[in-house]
Structure formats: structure tokens, C-alpha cells
Structure 1
Amino acid sequence: MSNFEELNNEQKREILNFFKEKYKVITMDATFGELEEKGYYNPITMTLDGVLLRIEKVDFKFNHTILFEGSKFRSGKGAIGVECIVHYKDGEWQIKESKEIWIS
């Protein structure tokens, strides 16, 4: 979440806790390089011990709508990029549209 300049630390913790509670996994705020330094990346198999979620582009639209591009990386042959439109309605964010934009 190093590029989430609009969020404070509490908001970042809320995002991490969401994934931790929903998927019952260990969550952390780290870049690929930081995960590599901590030993989570195996350069021989080119795989990550876990999943790296990234948000590359964010475009805040009018009417509580956000367009973003993101990706999920586990390995060079296990990654996917998506483009999503989410809308804030009835007190929660809901996916309005989502599509794959690349896959490896």
C-alpha cells in the first residue's frame, strides 16, 4: 500500500484486517522487494510464498465510484491483472464491473 497516499495508517490497517478476517491469512503491507528481503520469494522456482496484491492505477470518479487496475502475483506463471469498477452503496463497496486485462 506504499502508493496509497490518500489513506492514513488506520485505514491501511482496516484493509489488512479485512483480508485477514475474510480469508484467514497472514497479511502485511510490503512491496515485492521487501517480501524478497524477508525470504518470501524463491528465486530458483520464481514463486512467492503467499500472494502479492497490487493496485497500480486508481481513478476516483463522481458518484462514489472508483475505477482501478490491480494484479495478483504468486509466480511468473501465476499472475493476473484486472480492471475493476467499484461503487459505494448502502454503506459498503460493491464490485460493479470486473474484467481480466492480462494473465500469465
Structure 2
Amino acid sequence: MKYISIDTDVTEDLSEEEKKVLLNYFKKYSAEVKNLSFEGLKNEGLFDEETFSLEGILLAVKDIKKKTDKEAIIEASKYRSGLGAIAIEYTLEYINGKWEIKQEKMLWIS
């Protein structure tokens, strides 16, 4: 995997500071971190039209529903290829100063 692209512009619920934190979090992996959408990756020539695949992965936060100060639901997706994509809904709980995954539910897979 050459890169991890995180489409932070899908949801307006993330502040600029939260976007920076999210992008910095993924720097721990040995891949370049980008802030590009699917269209952005295509425009940069990073999408293979023949195989419908990326040489990296695209992560996107589709929706954030904050239920309380201690619980939130996030819908996120991952795209690697037309046959390598998934969307998951995460229920998060704020425990001891950090958000933890309480439950996850697959929404779709290809």
C-alpha cells in the first residue's frame, strides 16, 4: 500500500483541528497520508481505470451522529477496489478520556 487517503470533506461535523488529528493518527503506518477524495485521487492519476483499483486505500467518514457527550455513531467506508470496499457503522463511547469502539456493524461490502 503506497498511501492512505482520508476524505475528511465528506462530513461537515469535523473541525479543522479534528481533521489534522485524524490525518496525523494515520502517519504511524508506513504509507504516505493524503487528504483526497475519490475524485481527487482520480485527478492525481492514482486510480487505475482498467482494474478499478487504487495503489493505496481511501477512507471516508460518511456521517457522525453525536448522541451524547459520551456516545457517538460514525459511519465510515474503505475503498481499495471495486471488489474491495466496505462500510461500517461504529458506536463509540468516551471512556477515561478517549473514544473507544463499543460496537460495530457492517453496512455493506463489495
TM-score (norm 2): 0.85
2:25 matched to 1:18? yes
Deviations 1:60-95 (A, max 9, x none): 101421112111100000011111101111111100
| Aligned counterpart in structure 2 of residue 103 of structure 1, from 80, 84, 109 | 109
d(CA) in 2 for partners of 1:78, 1:30: 18
May I ask how many residue pairs the two structures share in their alignment?
103
* Unaligned residue ranges in structure 2 (runs of 5+): 1-7
| Aligned counterpart in structure 1 of residue 88 of structure 2, from 51, 58, 82 | 82
* Unaligned residue ranges in structure 1 (runs of 5+): none
Q: CA RMSD in A?
A: 1.4
2:75 matched to 1:53? no
d(CA) in 2 for partners of 1:90, 1:35: 37
Partner of 1:5: 12
Deviating 4+ runs (over 4 angstroms): none
SS in 2 for 1:13: helix
TM-score (norm 1): 0.89
Aligned-residue offset at 1:97: 0.2
The aligned amino acid for 2:88 is: V
Contact 2:76–2:89 under 8 Å retained in 1? yes
